[in-house]
Amino acid sequence: MMFATVAYAMAPSGGDGAGGGFSALIPLVLMFAVFYFLLIRPQQQKAKKQRDLLNNLKKDDMVVTGGGIHGKITGITDTIVSLEIAPNIRIKVSRGQIAGMSDAYKKVEEKTT
């Protein structure tokens, strides 16, 4: 009989353990919410922004690649972008390697002309 009272005393809220599962679930839900809003959601927004940037590229845009090369788009296909990195010097890069828009190339080009 002594063991029954010890087990009863250790049972969470109410003695039959009915509320224990739900109260243990609350911290897990809160942790997931924190991870979602601090890690997952910002990463999804950044990926969406990059996708939109790549989809909206057009000729004569000033861009910078993931490797740090600045240039002006002279030609574009679904997978390849032709960049003019200096007067009459063109290179081809994968469209996915475009990291963002750039104004630095335009400033350098204006100084040289």
CATH number for position 74: 2.30.30
Residue 31 phi, psi (nearest 5): -65, -40
Q: Is the pTM of this model over 0.75?
A: no
CA distance 73 to 59: 5
36 inside domain = yes
Q: Is the dihedral of CA 95, 96, 102, 105 positive or negative?
A: negative
11 inside domain = no
Q: Are residues 65 and 41 in the same domain?
A: no
Among residues of the chain, what percentage have pLDDT more than 90? 68
Greater pLDDT, 72 or 13: 72
94 inside domain = yes
Q: Is the dihedral of CA 89, 91, 95, 101 positive or negative?
A: negative
Q: Are residues 24 and 68 in the same domain?
A: no
Mean pLDDT score, 83-90: 95
63 inside domain = yes
Q: Are residues 102 and 62 in the same domain?
A: yes
Residue 12 phi, psi (nearest 5): -75, 140
Mean pLDDT score, 17-39: 85
Give the domain extent around 103. Answer: 58-112
pLDDT band at 103 (very low <50, low <70, confident <90, very high): confident
